[in-house]
Each structure stands twice: as structure tokens, then as C-alpha cells.
Amino acid sequence: MSDIRSFYPNAEQGEDYTVQCIEKLRSDFEFDFERTILATSVCSDEIIRSATNFRDHVALGTPFQLGGLSGFPFTGETGFKAFAGHIPDDGFAIILYGPHIGISNSDQPGMVIRSGQMLESTCCGALMGVVNSFENDKMHEFDEEYDYQQWKITEQLYSSRNDIIKNNQPLIAATDKMFERIDHRIKALLDKTRDHFKEKTIALVGGIIVNTDHGSPDWFEEREFEVHSF
């Protein structure tokens, strides 16, 4: 069993976190989960599906997917406007967002053993690719046309490359920086599209998703919790 809190001191098991968050939204913000839709801005990696279980608590639990590689909200203004148009009348939405990182039972940040596999593989592979490109000075190897999302997340972290590669845990540093970029972009997109969210209440739930070896619970470290009524 890996020691998640040695890397993420405020992390909680994903299911425990979800229940606490749902309870807080119900009691403090009067969320009606029969009139609530879920959106995510998380990495494309299928391993993330198990990290939290918000989908089990809300009426419209199949999430609108705002994100792409590493959790950056690639669907942009068009995605936010479309999502806004799907919220139940006078209803509520939860936007769950953030990057993810694997921590294997061998306490290796950036690695997990996946279902059906014997050996550890990288997680988040996209962010690991960014770190490797910074370490090897190969930032320009990603093709803007045919590898757009990887190119874009590399561009987003480029100004932080020295802080990342000098850190003794470069992937953890890159994950922290990526959270800041995602958080900033989600808030900017919400602000740009705010007219589409009239009469709606939106919870922003941001953090680091910590994936573990297949069969072990996943974790979540909350970095942002805000509720906006428009």
C-alpha cells in the first residue's frame, strides 16, 4: 500500500471526499441533486473514472467532458456554452477538474500498475512527456497540427520549465503547475461565458487526482472549492 499522504498531505480517498463534498453542497449551498449535472475537465486516461464517484450522486451523472490531455479544458468557450445549455432549469452543476498522477504501491510517483498488466506504466503519461521534453530540451518535438493537445500543454508549462526540472520530483512539480493552469483557464472560461449560466448554481471542485495500482482506492487532494450563483 502506497503512502499517498507523504506526497499529498491533504489527500483523501476519492469516495470519502465525494461523500463529504456532496454533503457540503447539500447542506451549505442547497444543491438539489435531482436537478444537477456533472462536467469534468480531467485527462482522457480511462484510469480516472474510478477516482471520485460524483456520477453516482447526481441525476445527470454522465459527465459533459470539458477536458483533454492532462485535464486542460480544451473544449474552450464553445464547450462551456454548450454545457451551460444542458443544465436543468433553475438547476445546478458540478465542474470537477484537475490533473492526475499515479503513485504505485512501490511509492513511485508517475507510475501505476493498470488492470490487466503486470508492469508499471506512466501516469500521467502526457505530463511525463512534457517533463521529458523539458529535461532533454526537446520542447519543439510536439506537432501543433497532429499532436495539438500535447503541444498546448507543453506551451502552457513552458514558462515554468526551469522550476520543474530543478525540482527533485519534477513530475509532482509539473502536476502542481498544471493544476494552476487548469484552474486559471476554467475560471477564465466561466467568466467569458457567464451570461449563459444565468439562474444556475455552479460548484467548482478542483484538485489533484491520485491514481493507484489496480485494485487499490484512488485519492483526491482538493485545491479549490467555490460555488457561484449567476
One-character DSSP codes across 194-224: GGGGTT-EEEEEEEEEEE-STTSPPEEEEEE
| CA–CA gap between residue 213 and residue 225 (Å, rounded) | 27
| CA–CA gap between residue 226 and residue 205 (Å, rounded) | 7
Q: Applying CB under 5 A, which part among 41-49, 142-150, 175-183, 199-207 lies near Zn ion?
A: 41-49
| CA–CA gap between residue 112 and residue 216 (Å, rounded) | 10
Q: Applying CB under 5 A, which part among 8-16, 17-25, 126-134, 187-195 lies near Zn ion?
A: 126-134
| CA–CA gap between residue 49 and residue 38 (Å, rounded) | 13
Would you count residue 112 as binding Zn ion (CB under 5 A)?
A: no
- List the one residue from 43, 94, 95, 113 that touches Zn ion (CB under 5 A): 43
User: Of 100 and 161, which has the nearer Cβ to Zn ion?
Assistant: 100
Q: In the stretch 68-107, what mask flags binding to Zn ion with x, by CB under 5 A?
A: ----------------------------------------
One-character DSSP codes across 81-147: HHHHTTSPTT-EEEEEE--EEEB-TT--BTEEEPTT-SSEEETTHHHHHHHHHHHTT-GGGS-TTTS
- List the one residue from 45, 213, 218, 221 that touches Zn ion (CB under 5 A): 45
User: Of 45 and 183, which has the nearer Cβ to Zn ion?
Assistant: 45
Give the three-state DSSP class for 148.
Answer: helix
- List the one residue from 11, 22, 96, 124 that touches Zn ion (CB under 5 A): 124
* Least distance (Å) between residue 45 CB and Zn ion: 4
User: Of 18 and 175, which has the nearer Cβ to Zn ion?
Assistant: 175
For cell 476554467, what's the residue?
Answer: 186
User: Of 126 and 186, which has the nearer Cβ to Zn ion?
Assistant: 126
Binding site for Zn ion (CB under 5 A): 43, 45, 124, 126
